[in-house]
Structure 1
Amino acid sequence: MQLGTRWSAGSEPPASVPASLRAQIDAVENAMPVDQLGQPAPRWTLTWLEGKPIAELDTGVIVSLNEEGDAVVRHDEDDDFA
């Protein structure tokens, strides 16, 4: 069993976040608009499904591994059309 974890966008991901996801997590965070109102940063949640890591941001952005083992970014709304 692998336990998940949570962390705020913009902070260093915990050591339990696999290297295979880190570049895409960084890309998502770099694409986020700058908050000019001082709102709290959205938080990531790392979970495991059938042994594969899935990082989901509170905004609905999901970073996971495809069948080839490459990290891909999608939005939870994309699941409605799968």
Structure 2
Amino acid sequence: MQLGTRWAFGDEPPRSVPMELRPGIRAAEADTTDGVGRHWTLTWLEGRPIAELDDGTTVTLERLPDATDEDGADDDW
């Protein structure tokens, strides 16, 4: 696991947050009734970005769109 960065709930995510993850973060914030004082943490696990809010809300991607092996096939194991 690689530690990424932190940012405040409601703020624009830092540039290190993949664009593909941002819609999920916005949706999670829209579903949260009280984000005051909360922060997101971006980490990377096995090459996948994971954004976690202090309350345990998690936003992740199965794979980044360009994450394929050498022959172009997805690695599903």
The whole-number CA distance in structure 2 between the counterparts of 1:3 and 1:17 is: 12
Q: Which runs of 5+ in 1 are unaligned?
A: 71-82
Give the match for residue 18 of structure 2. Answer: 18
Bigger CA radius of gyration: 2
TM-score by length of 2: 0.72
TM-score by length of 1: 0.68
Count of residues paired in the alignment: 65
The whole-number CA distance in structure 2 between the counterparts of 1:20 and 1:60 is: 20
Confirm or deny: 8 A CA contact 2:48 2:62 kept in the other structure. Answer: no
Confirm or deny: 8 A CA contact 1:10 1:41 kept in the other structure. Answer: no
Q: Deviations over 1:15-60 (max 9, x none)?
A: 000011100100011111146xxxx421000000111100000000
Q: Which runs of 5+ in 2 are unaligned?
A: 66-77
Which 4+ runs in 1 deviate beyond 3 A? none
Give the match for residue 31 of structure 2. Answer: 31
Q: Cα RMSD over matched residues? A: 2.3
Change (3 A) 1:27 1:50: same
Confirm or deny: 8 A CA contact 1:7 1:14 kept in the other structure. Answer: yes
The structure with more helix, counted as a fraction of residues: 1
SS in 2 for 1:12: coil
Change (3 A) 1:34 1:55: closer
